């Protein structure tokens, strides 16, 4: 396996991990906030939301990094390249 394939495969794995993180912490998977009950802990909700948003940012950064690695692999010469 040449270096080009390794970089491309690593990019795919990193992008897949990033997509999973974004999905896991997306608002689609968030429970509905109760309808204004007196015992609602808004500080806890704010902390949970901040943590979720931070994890989504990390996921997006991983997707970008993986995509850049895949793009970079297009410019790495193959092991059997006779052009160099």
Q: Where are the domains of the chain?
A: 3-31+40-73
For helices 42-73 and 3-24, angle between their N-to-C axes, nearest 10 degrees: 160
The per-residue pLDDT for range 30-66, each reduced to its tens digit, is 666 555 556 667 788 888 889 999 999 999 999 999 9
| Its pTM surpasses 0.85 | no
Question: Cβ atoms within 10 A of the Cβ of 14, count?
Answer: 20
Please state, for a pLDDT cut of 70, what percent of the chain lies above it. Answer: 79
**Structure confidence at residue 43 (pLDDT):** 85
Which SS3 state, helix, strand or coil, does residue 10 take?
A: helix
């Amino acid at each position: 396996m040449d270096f080009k394939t390794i970089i491309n495969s690593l990019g795919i794995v990193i992008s897949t991990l990033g997509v999973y993180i974004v999905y896991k912490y997306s608002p689609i998977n968030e429970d509905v906030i109760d309808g204004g009950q007196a015992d609602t802990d808004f500080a806890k909700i704010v902390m949970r939301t901040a943590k979720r948003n931070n994890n989504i940012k990390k996921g997006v950064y991983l997707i970008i990094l993986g995509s850049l690695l895949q793009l970079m692999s297009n410019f790495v010469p193959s092991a059997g390249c006779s052009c160099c």
